[in-house]
Amino acid sequence: MHKESLSMKLSKQLPLNALRVFEAVARLQSFTRAGDELGMSQTAVSYQIKLLEGHVGEALFLRKPRRIELSEAGERLAPKVAEGFELLREALADLRNTADGTLIIHATATFASQWLARHLGHFQLHNPGIAVRLETSQDVIDFSRTPADLAIRSGRGNWPGLRAHFVMRNHFTPMLSPQLAETVGGIREPLDLLKLRFIDPSDPWWRIWFTAAGHPDVVLDSLQRTRLGAQSFEAAAAVAGHGIAILRPEFYPEEIASGRLIQPFELTCEDGSHYWLVYPEARRNAGKIRAFREFLRASLPSFEAISPTAGT
């Protein structure tokens, strides 16, 4: 009887259903979308939020025309609730003996093919009990909706609710095949590049690089546009002689060493976005995440060379 009354008391003290609804509404910024995700009507969602507001004694959302916003109290509560549910998910995964079984990594196609694929063997050699599943996407994933343990993404390191560790700088410069360069007698000046076809001239990196090279007024808008969707694909096109690509040279050491790609100018530029290791703050102590974090630390001298705030 005592245990039953204690359980009922805890249930009243901790309205889990209402908290689950609050987490979804806060994350999606919509009663309707939260209801769709949870399989509840909008009326039921509103009822659970009112229950929680009555429980805490404060309004958690500001109702505005066509939208809602978290109130000050809601802003304080939301990250704690999200972390709490993440901890519960992790605890359940541990009980199923899967938490440290498979490491799911999301990365851009370029980082996956040009760095991860070449180094993951070392990680698995030192962590034989952890299987690795590598998913590639150009999208910034939502960890609450996409099965993933961690991600390598490009940005400034300031993603709310995520722990971010600097991995490496993302700088860029024009690169092309030497055979293509010879078709115009070589590339000696930045404007010589305009004699050749550009791979994705709409990429903002081109404008940044030409400005740094002293040619801010160069016209690229009239050039034929080809978008391949990932830097690794653009590099492959450049190796094949299909045009000039703007690339991160450190990703292509073999192509440079073999003479399949050349970097005609020493000038490299940055746009403020670099590569970061990210994962939910609440999962920072998961064994497989700790193992991968330490692997990057041992593999990359640049790891954590910049803090997220300094990188913004």
Q: Specify the fold of 102-170+272-299.
A: D-Maltodextrin-Binding Protein; domain 2 (3.40.190)
What does the pLDDT read at residue 139?
Answer: 87
What does the pLDDT read at residue 227?
Answer: 73
What does the pLDDT read at residue 3?
Answer: 43
Strand partners, 25: none
Question: Residues 148, 106: contact at Cβ < 8 Å?
Answer: yes
* Number of Cβ atoms within 10 Å of the Cβ of 88: 13
The ranges of the chain annotated as CATH 3.40.190.10 are 102-170+272-299, 171-270
What does the pLDDT read at residue 9?
Answer: 44
- How far apart, in whole angstroms, are the C-alpha atoms of residue 206 and residue 100? 43
Q: Each residue's pLDDT tens digit in the chain (312 positions)?
A: 444 443 444 445 778 899 999 999 999 999 999 999 999 999 999 999 999 999 999 999 998 888 899 999 999 999 999 999 888 877 776 655 455 588 999 999 999 999 999 999 999 999 998 999 999 988 899 998 888 999 999 999 999 989 999 999 999 999 999 999 999 999 999 999 999 999 999 899 999 999 999 999 998 877 766 777 789 999 999 999 999 999 999 999 999 999 999 999 999 999 999 999 999 998 888 899 999 999 999 999 999 998 886 444
Determine the length of the chain. 312
Planar angle of CA 146, 235, 279, nearest 5 degrees:
25
Question: Residues 250, 274: contact at Cβ < 8 Å?
Answer: no
What does the pLDDT read at residue 224?
Answer: 65
Grouping H, G, I as helix, E, B as strand and the rest as coil, residue 135 is strand
What does the pLDDT read at residue 266?
Answer: 97
Which of 285, 291, 27, 311 lies closest to 164, judged by CA?
A: 311
- How far apart, in whole angstroms, are the C-alpha atoms of residue 281 and residue 287? 14
What does the pLDDT read at residue 99?
Answer: 53
Q: Specify the fold of 171-270.
A: D-Maltodextrin-Binding Protein; domain 2 (3.40.190)
- How far apart, in whole angstroms, are the C-alpha atoms of residue 246 and residue 231? 8
- The sign of the torsion formed by the CA atoms of 73, 24, 285, 114 equals negative
Which of 149, 112, 192 lies closest to 278, judged by CA?
A: 149
pTM for this one?
0.69
The ranges of the chain annotated as CATH 1.10.10.10 are 2-95
Q: Amino acid identity, residue 217?
A: D
Instruction: Look up the CATH number of domain 2-95.
Output: 1.10.10.10
